């Protein structure tokens, strides 16, 4: 029994550490991700029966790979396999599987997952499932999606890759920047999955933050001369460094401006700064480098002194000029409010299209804050309520409603109506 447990432990370890590498190698040639997943799943099951009996193989990953490849190639002739017998198949695998030294095709797999032909909403889930082996239910929850719908989305994406014959290859030089941006975009989406705040404030981190950091690290190691993967790492590490400071001892939400910078992780900030330096040394500021510079400017408060809001506004100007997303524009308006006063921030918010902001939580949170600072409590009370109604984070809701209750007496409306 303990031997079985040891084997199971070894299998789980091998699976976690090597799943993406094994799967990438298996499907890089066949382009059939679903078949490769099935074969790898079967190989893991075989390991569960054979490893406890025969002891751990010298090269567990290669054993799994060879077994999975045999299962894959023998799929069409299942009957022959059955006749040959499982034992012979496994012996063949052991003869071939002498070392764990096989090519790492995970980068090619990531490029296929974020291929322009793949639905943008499927890219991140596909990466999480194929490279990290996460199951559809976990991915669905992180993205606030029904598991059945997420499963269908993944199946469709894999069918598309197989049927369209998408190449498992690192893009050519001229295509690389755009294709790499799509890969990094999908990784960053995992970092903030299911959160309202995509405003670039870097405050939100989903339950998949560790997974996103792993993927960014992988791309940075496999494409070491590219600037943007290092920048994405820097951006996410800065956000991670502030995690502990986002809640006080009672679990209440603490906004970035009010955070005690002594609670920010110094080792993570140092790692983030080192990654940003690597990014800057490798190329001009791309999208993620600009975002990482923003985070670095916020983190500079840890060294003492005030947040450099004027510099932050300048970086947001560059970001908004490149990609005028509603998130970037709202964050820019909030920074303007800090740098030049609430009226400047409110003017920037007023320029946004109401259709894009009416259900966008960061807009209402920023609006409420600026209205309160501008001495317009009636409107601020209204905006705080909308911001509170749009958040899915109970600590943020409580914070916004407390701010609303703290407005001058005449505008408080705590005896709110019952839900109708």
Partner 1 sequence: MEYAILIHEPATDFALREDPEKAPAYWAGWSAYAKALTEAGVMRGGAGLMAPSAAATVRLRGDQRHVQDGPFADTKEMLGGFFLIEAASLEEAIAWAARCPAAATGAVEVRPRLPNMS
| Interface pattern 308-347 for partner 1 (x via CB under 8 A) | ----------------------------------------
Distance of closest approach, residue 41 Cβ to partner 1, in angstroms: 28
Q: What angle do CA 157, 159, 163 make, to 5 degrees?
A: 120
Q: Which is nearer to partner 1, 55 or 408 (CB)?
A: 408
Which of 207, 341, 389, 406: binder of partner 1 (CB under 8 A)? 389
How many whole angstroms separate alpha carbon 58 and alpha carbon 73?
24
Which of 359, 378, 406, 408: binder of partner 1 (CB under 8 A)? 359
Q: Does 398 bind partner 1 (CB under 8 A)?
A: yes
Tokens of residue 284, six digits: 């001009």
Which of 82, 117, 120, 144: binder of partner 1 (CB under 8 A)? 144
Only segment of 45-53, 95-103, 232-240, 394-402 that touches partner 1 (CB under 8 A):
394-402
Q: Does 416 bind partner 1 (CB under 8 A)?
A: yes
Only segment of 6-14, 85-93, 197-205, 409-417 that touches partner 1 (CB under 8 A):
409-417
| Torsion sign, CA atoms 401, 406, 407, 413 | positive
Q: Which is nearer to partner 1, 409 or 414 (CB)?
A: 414
Backbone angles phi, psi at 105, to 5 degrees: -100, 15
How many whole angstroms separate alpha carbon 238 and alpha carbon 271?
9
How many whole angstroms separate alpha carbon 19 and alpha carbon 64?
10
Q: Does 358 bind partner 1 (CB under 8 A)?
A: yes
- Bridge partners, 247 (sequence order): 253
Q: Does 137 bind partner 1 (CB under 8 A)?
A: no
| Interface pattern 168-207 for partner 1 (x via CB under 8 A) | --------------------------x-------------
Greatest Cα pair distance, the chain, in angstroms, is 85
The answer to whether 327 and 362 have CB atoms below 8 angstroms apart is: yes
- Within 8 A by CB and 6+ apart from 134, the residues are 128, 211
- Cβ-based burial of 255 (10 A; exposed 0-12, middle 13-18, buried ≥19): middle
Which of 64, 272, 390, 407: binder of partner 1 (CB under 8 A)? 390
Q: Does 353 bind partner 1 (CB under 8 A)?
A: no
HSE-CB for 183 with a 13 A CA cutoff = 28
How is residue 341 annotated by DSSP? -
Which of 17, 58, 149, 270: binder of partner 1 (CB under 8 A)? 149
Q: Which chain residues interact with partner 1 by CB under 8 A?
A: 144-146, 149, 194, 358-359, 385-386, 388-392, 394, 397-398, 400-401, 404-405, 414-420
């Amino acid at each position: 029994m303990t031997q079985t447990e040891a084997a199971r432990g070894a299998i789980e370890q091998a699976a976690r550490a090597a799943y993406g590498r094994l799967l990438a190698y298996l499907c890089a040639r066949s382009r059939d991700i679903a078949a490769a997943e099935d074969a790898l799943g079967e190989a893991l099951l075989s390991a569960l029966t054979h490893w406890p009996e025969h002891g751990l193989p010298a090269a567990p990953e290669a054993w799994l790979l060879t077994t999975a490849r045999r299962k894959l190639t023998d799929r069409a002739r299942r009957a022959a396999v059955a006749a040959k017998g499982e034992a012979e198949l496994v012996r063949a695998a052991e003869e071939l599987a002498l070392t764990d030294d096989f090519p790492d095709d995970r980068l090619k797999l990531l490029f296929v997952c974020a291929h322009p032909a793949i639905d943008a909403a499927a890219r991140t889930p596909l990466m999480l499932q194929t490279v990290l082996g996460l199951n559809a239910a976990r991915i669905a929850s992180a993205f606030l999606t029904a598991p059945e719908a997420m499963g269908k989305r993944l199946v469709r994406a894999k069918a598309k890759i197989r049927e369209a014959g998408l190449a498992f290859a690192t893009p050519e030089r001229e295509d690389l920047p755009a294709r790499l941006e799509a890969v990094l975009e999908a990784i960053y989406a995992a970092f903030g999955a299911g959160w309202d705040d995509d405003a670039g404030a870097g405050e939100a981190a989903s339950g998949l933050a560790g997974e996103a950091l792993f993927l960014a690290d992988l791309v940075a190691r496999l494409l070491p001369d590219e600037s943007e993967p290092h920048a994405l790492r820097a951006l996410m590490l800065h956000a991670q460094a502030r995690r502990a400071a986002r809640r006080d001892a009672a679990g209440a939400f603490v906004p970035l401006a009010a955070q005690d910078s002594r609670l920010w992780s110094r080792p993570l900030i140092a790692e983030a700064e080192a990654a940003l330096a690597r990014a800057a040394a490798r190329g001009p500021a791309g999208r993620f480098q600009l975002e990482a510079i923003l985070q670095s400017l916020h983190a500079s408060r840890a060294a003492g002194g005030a947040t450099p809001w004027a510099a932050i506004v300048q970086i947001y100007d560059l970001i908004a000029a490149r990609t005028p997303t509603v998130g970037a524009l709202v964050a820019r308006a909030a920074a303007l409010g800090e740098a030049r006063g609430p009226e400047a921030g409110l003017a920037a918010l007023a320029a946004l299209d109401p259709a894009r902001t009416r259900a966008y939580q960061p807009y209402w949170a920023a609006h409420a804050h600026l209205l309160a600072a501008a001495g317009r409590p009636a409107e601020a009370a209204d905006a705080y309520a909308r911001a509170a109604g749009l958040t899915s984070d109970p600590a943020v809701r409580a914070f916004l409603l407390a701010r609303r209750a703290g407005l001058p007496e005449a505008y408080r409306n705590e005896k709110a109506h019952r839900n109708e």
